[in-house]
Amino acid sequence: MKEQNDKTITAHCGDTPTSHSCVPRSALVTGASRGIGRAIAQALAEEGYRLYLTCRRSEKELTELSYQLSETYHIACTPILADMGDMQAVNEVFAKIDDLTLLVNNAGVSHIGLLHEMTVQEWQSLMNVNLNALFYTCRLAIPMMLKHHAGHIVNISSVWGNAGASMEVAYSASKGGMNAFTKALAKELAPSGIQVNAIACGVIDTDMNRCFSEEEMSALRAEIPADRIGQPSEVAGLLLSIINAPSYLTGQVITLDGAWQT
């Protein structure tokens, strides 16, 4: 099975040029086997992007998704099993990528509990995936984008990166770091035509929220003015809007939360 994850799954021709450029559109989406990452992968496949999809554990789901997208949308799709919080693993991912016009840093983990009861190993593991991975991926993706004097980096963040959450201090810190990373890198890359933005998600219907009981989710829903939980497809839709927006849109952390933490 490992060998299949190192191969491109494709049904027909993979690359579709943008309407304003002859550069083939290709995207790396991390944490793509389920939830928000999966929805983003599908949305980009519909747009004709060549895809590189990663996940840490769900090998079967990722391979099946890649095959489904390549067959349905006739795009090249490469599934790669990798821990994006491990620098060597990220290096190996990029060894399979010859060009990149879009990087979506979506892979993330959460931790709920009192800070003083959190172990050093748990803290470091969360920071590796949620924050260090940004450095690992961006440092390798940027040179590819510089060749075209264009590109997009979109980081999937959280409202807790803006406001902070009790019992989720480490997660909040990692997403706050992601937001600052986004704004700083956008300033650095704006002269090179590369846009860097983030989406700060509110409560989205993903496996990350399966730890809450039905009663807890109902109480949480009551706090949201939109009176519902967000869908992964809505995050994917916003991402498409961001990458199709004017080049002047960069350095922004855009909140998608049904007015919950506004």
SS3 content of the chain, % helix, strand, coil (to 5): 45, 15, 35
Residues 122, 101: Cα–Cα separation, whole Å: 33
Nearest to 53 by CA among 20, 28, 90, 82: 28
Burial (0-12, 13-18, 19+ Cβ within 10 Å), 182: buried
**C-alpha pair distances (Å), 229 with each of 146, 220, 256, 257, 260:** 38, 9, 11, 8, 10
Q: How many helices (H) and strands (E) does the chain have?
A: 10, 7
Active-site residue 52, yes or no? no
Catalytic residue among 49, 52, 73, 171, which?
Answer: 171
Residues catalogued as catalytic: 171
